[in-house]
Amino acid sequence: MTSQNTPAWRNDDLEGAVIGAFFLRGADPEVMDILATLPADVFFVRQYRDIYAGICRQARIFGVIDPVLLCNEMPELAPVITDTGRKTWVKSSLEHYVAALRRNAALRDAEKTLD
C-alpha cells in the first residue's frame, strides 16, 4: 500500500509474501523455527493472521505446510491463500521478509502506545 494515509508500518504485500514463502518452503527446519517464534499478531491483515494460524496448526499436527490442504480446511480463505503464491518469487527471501514483518509490527505497536 502506498497511499499517503497508509501508516509506514502497513505493508499488506509483505504480509502476503511471508505467507507465500511459507508455502514455497514447506515445513523445512528453518521454517519450523520461525513458526515456533513468530506470533500471529505480527500480521495486521486479519486474513493473513488466520492463514498463519492455519499454517502453524498444519505444521504442528501433520508436519507439512501445504496450500492445497489449507484451502480445503479454510475454503473461505482459498482465494487469499492462492493469491499469496503471486506475491512470493524466491524461497530464500523468507528470513528477510520475516525481519521486515517484525519491524513493521514493532512500529505499529509503538504507534499504538503513543496514541
26, with CB counted inside 10 A (0-12, 13-18, 19+), is middle
pLDDT score, position 90: 66
Task: Supply angle C-alpha 64, 73, 29, rounded to 5.
Answer: 15
CB atoms within 10 A of CB 47: 20
Asked if 71 and 10 count as a contact pair (C-beta separation under 8 A), the reply is: no
pTM of the model: 0.86
Domain 12-114 CATH class label: mainly alpha
Blockwise average pLDDT, block size 10, the chain, 115 residues: 72 93 94 96 97 98 96 98 82 83 94 83
User: What pLDDT shows up at residue 1?
Assistant: 46
